[in-house]
Chains A and B, each alone.
Chain A
Amino acid sequence: GAVVSQHPSRVICKSGTSVKIECRSLDFQATTMFWYRQFPKKSLMLMATSNEGSKATYEQGVEKDKFLINHASLTLSTLTVTSAHPEDSSFYICSASDVQGAKYEQYFGPGTRLTVT
Chain B
Amino acid sequence: AQKITQTQPGMFVQEKEAVTLDCTYDTSDQSYGLFWYKQPSSGEMIFLIYQGSYDEQNATEGRYSLNFQKARKSANLVISASQLGDSAMYFCAMRSTSGTYKYIFGTGTRLKVLA
| Chain A residues with a Cβ under 8 A of chain B | 32, 34, 38, 41-44, 46, 49, 51, 57, 91, 93, 95, 97, 99, 102-108, 110-111, 113
Picked from B43, B44, B52, the residue with its CB within 8 Å of the CB of A103 is: B52
B50 touches A111 (CB 8 A): no
In the complex, how many residues of chain B place their beta carbon closer than 8 angstroms to a beta carbon of chain A? 21
Interface residues of B in 92-115 (CB under 8 A from A): 95, 100-103, 105-108, 110
Q: B101's closest neighbor in chain A, by CB? A: A104
CB-based contact A43/B107 at 8 Å: yes
**Residues A49 and B44 in contact, CB atoms below 8 Å apart:** no
Q: Is B12 an interface residue (CB 8 A)?
A: no
CA distance A42 to B105 in the complex (A): 11
Name the residue in B102, B106, B108 with the highest tally of chain A Cβ atoms < 10 Å from its Cβ.
Answer: B102
Contact A46 to B45, CB < 8 A, known contacts A102-B52, A105-B50: no
A17 to B35, CA, bound (A): 37
